């Protein structure tokens, strides 16, 4: 095999390894964090907070209602105790009890609305809890599939890495160095093939003398345009 063809083979292993590494990174990211579960968890937390607030409102209104009830009882007691005889005072007490009863009616309306709100929040939280269970179930399933895939990819990477090492030691040091230097600069592709007299990486046709030298394979010839190692095999 010519020097450039050996480097091309090395590149094919490296590109395959690159692909595996990208996929493995994505798998690690997915395993660490499931967006669907996280979204439902956040919504559920918010729903519980709102439910707490709604229940607090109900409690506060109950307290107000009780205090108001006690006040009404007290005014009524004074009115009917026989202790108050002045018509003016009785009239005032009558007005007060009427006003208190109006306040109680308004309060009862608000209590009813608050209870409806609590019920709505309870329904919402229950639905989100079911949703969370479903999302967690799906995540666990996906988790299992991802762990399987990770296992397969790691095995492939190990096999490719072994093959790469075996190949790498057979390559002359200056060729390795040139390849390693070009690879990051050429987005992973340090070697390009020739097809119908043109470099397949950049599409430009090298001079016939370059092509000739590349075909002879004694030296590593670079594409005059993109600077990649040309492989004519």
How many CB atoms sit inside 10 A of residue 8's CB? 21
| Per CB under 5 A, 157 contacts Zn ion | no
Smallest distance from Zn ion to CB 208, Å: 15
Among 199, 214, 220, 232, binds Zn ion (CB under 5 A): 199
Q: Which of 77, 96, 94, 97 is nearest to 86 (CA)?
A: 94
Nearer to Zn ion, 217 or 224 (CB): 224
- 230 DSSP 8-state letter: E
Question: What is d(CA 220, CA 213) in angstroms, rounded to the nearest whole number?
Answer: 8
> Scanning residues 204 to 233, which ones bind Zn ion (CB under 5 A)?
223, 225-226
**Orientation of helix 35-80 relative to helix 87-168, angle to 10°:** 170
* Segment interacting with Zn ion (CB under 5 A) among 70-78, 161-169, 175-183, 202-210: 202-210
Q: Which is nearer to Zn ion, 118 or 182 (CB)?
A: 182
CA 23, CA 40: separation in Å to the nearest integer? 26
Check residue 202 for interaction with Zn ion (CB under 5 A): yes
- Segment contacting Zn ion by CB under 5 A, of 7-15, 99-107, 172-180, 199-207: 199-207
Tell me, by CB under 5 A, how many residues bind Zn ion: 6
Least distance (Å) from Zn ion to the CB of residue 206? 7
Task: Please check whether residue 222 is in contact with residue 37, taking contact to mean a CB–CB distance below 8 angstroms.
Answer: no
The nearest distance, CB 174 to Zn ion, in angstroms, is 21
Q: Find the distance separating the first CA and the last CA of the chain, reported in whole Å.
A: 9
**Which helix (H) or strand (E) element contains residue 192?**
strand 191-195
Smallest distance from Zn ion to CB 225, Å:
5
Report the SS3 class of residue 84: coil
- What is the 8-class DSSP label of residue 222? B
Closer of 75 and 199 to Zn ion (Cβ): 199
CB-wise, 7 or 199, nearer to Zn ion? 199
Question: CB of 183: closest distance to Zn ion in angstroms?
Answer: 15
């Amino acid at each position: 095999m010519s020097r450039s063809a050996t480097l091309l083979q090395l590149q094919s292993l490296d590109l395959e390894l690159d692909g595996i590494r990208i996929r493995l990174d994505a798998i690690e990211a997915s395993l660490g964090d499931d967006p669907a579960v996280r979204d439902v968890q956040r919504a559920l937390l918010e729903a519980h907070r709102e439910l707490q607030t709604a229940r607090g409102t109900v409690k506060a209104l109950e307290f107000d209602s009780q205090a108001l009830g006690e006040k009404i009882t007290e005014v009524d007691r004074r009115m009917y105790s026989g202790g108050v005889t002045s018509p003016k005072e009785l009239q005032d007490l009558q007005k007060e009890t009427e006003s208190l009863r109006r306040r109680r009616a308004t309060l009862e309306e608000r209590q009813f609305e608050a209870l409806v709100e609590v019920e709505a929040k309870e329904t919402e939280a229950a639905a989100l809890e079911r949703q969370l269970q479903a999302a967690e179930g799906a995540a666990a399933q996906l988790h299992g599939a991802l762990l399987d895939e990770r296992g397969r990819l790691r095995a492939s990477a190990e096999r490719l890495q072994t093959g790469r090492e075996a190949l790498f030691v057979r390559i002359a040091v200056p060729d390795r160095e040139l390849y390693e230097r070009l690879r990051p600069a050429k987005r992973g592709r340090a070697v390009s093939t020739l097809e119908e007299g043109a470099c397949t990486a950049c599409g430009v046709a090298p001079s016939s003398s370059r092509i000739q030298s590349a075909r002879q394979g004694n030296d590593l010839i670079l594409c005059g345009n993109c600077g990649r190692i040309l492989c004519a095999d």
